[in-house]
């Protein structure tokens, strides 16, 4: 799978924002969603409206986000189970006894988890992975973190291509890895892929040292984000903070 599978190239105002601005905005927005009291149902509706306004500017179809948000299905299932397994006071809903605390806990997981995933997808859709790493570098993120992320993005597709070639070779030799009794051969293939990747990593590291690698990636040049671009980019996060603060004050 390509590292850019979640990126949607475009020329919207959100796409043109510096990556460091979008990273800070997304992080702050998620913090505001998490800090919102679970009983403030109206606040989560306003958070969603802010996100929908950003989508309207980005011009990415909502269906694109919905398909990729399926990654949170396990958490959704947990959220639906909690009302029936939770303790504390119980109430009847359509003739079914449910736990009040369990229902609130399930709603908390569902609302905050979904909004967090959608905010992350919005950031990924409008920012190339390479630009995300550059934005983290400009934000003075730990050097080791940005180095690992950059190398992972560079070589994830190389390793995936290696895995596809190995699978093609196995199929050409009569191995069809679709049956349970062939799991051992598949496991051996995964182990071989690990060894090849490890050896490739050693060769790449030696090549980098031979070219003067100092342990830090160069920060790509950037014109910088002025106060106006920071203010424009952080507007959704400021609105989310306003909603969160109001919910905390009134709940």
pLDDT at res. 242? 96
Cα(40)–Cα(30) distance, rounded to whole angstroms? 16
Confidence of residue 35 (pLDDT cuts 50, 70, 90): very high
Mean pLDDT of 98-109: 87
- Judge whether residue 75 has pLDDT over 70: yes
Cα(58)–Cα(159) distance, rounded to whole angstroms? 32
pLDDT at res. 224? 66
**Element counts in the chain: helices (H) and strands (E):** 10, 2
pTM of the model: 0.80
pLDDT at res. 40? 92
pLDDT at res. 99? 83
Average pLDDT value for the chain: 85
What is the per-residue pLDDT across 57-73, written as a single tens digit (0 to 9) for each?
A: 998 888 899 888 888 88
What is the per-residue pLDDT across 38-47, written as a single tens digit (0 to 9) for each?
A: 999 999 999 9
- Using CB atoms within 10 A of its CB, is residue 197 exposed (0-12), middle (13-18) or buried (19+)? middle
pLDDT at res. 58? 93
| 3 state DSSP class of 90 | strand
What is the per-residue pLDDT across 189-232, written as a single tens digit (0 to 9) for each?
A: 788 888 888 888 888 888 888 988 777 777 766 666 788 889 98
Answer for the pair 109, 118: CB distance below 8 angstroms, yes or no: no
- Judge whether residue 1 has pLDDT over 50: no
pLDDT at res. 161? 83
More confident residue, 34 or 204: 34
Confidence of residue 182 (pLDDT cuts 50, 70, 90): low
Mean pLDDT of 140-149: 84
Spell out the domain ranges in the chain. 13-134+225-250, 142-210
């Amino acid at each position: 799978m390509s590292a850019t599978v979640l990126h949607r190239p475009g020329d919207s105002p959100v796409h043109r924002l510096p990556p460091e601005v979008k990273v800070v905005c997304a992080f702050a927005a998620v913090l505001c969603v998490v800090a919102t009291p679970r009983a403030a149902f109206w606040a989560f509706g306003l958070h969603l409206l802010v996100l929908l306004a950003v989508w309207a500017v980005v011009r990415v179809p909502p269906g694109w986000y919905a398909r990729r948000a399926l990654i949170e299905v396990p958490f959704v299932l947990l959220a639906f189970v909690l009302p029936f397994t939770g303790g504390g006071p119980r109430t009847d809903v359509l003739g079914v006894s449910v736990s009040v605390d369990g229902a609130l806990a399930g709603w908390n997981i569902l609302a905050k988890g979904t909004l967090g995933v959608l905010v992350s997808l919005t950031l990924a859709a409008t920012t190339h992975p390479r630009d995300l790493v550059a934005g983290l570098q400009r934000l003075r993120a730990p050097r080791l973190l940005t180095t690992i992320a950059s190398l992972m993005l560079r070589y994830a597709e190389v390793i995936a291509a290696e895995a596809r070639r190995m699978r093609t070779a196995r199929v050409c030799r009569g191995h069809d890895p679709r049956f349970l009794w062939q799991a051992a051969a598949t496991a051996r293939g995964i182990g071989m892929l690990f060894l090849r990747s490890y050896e490739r990593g050693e060769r790449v590291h030696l090549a980098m040292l031979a070219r003067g690698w100092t342990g830090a990636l160069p920060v790509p040049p950037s014109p910088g984000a002025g106060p106006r671009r920071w203010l424009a980019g952080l507007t959704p996060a400021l609105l989310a903070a306003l909603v969160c603060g109001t919910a905390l004050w009134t709940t």
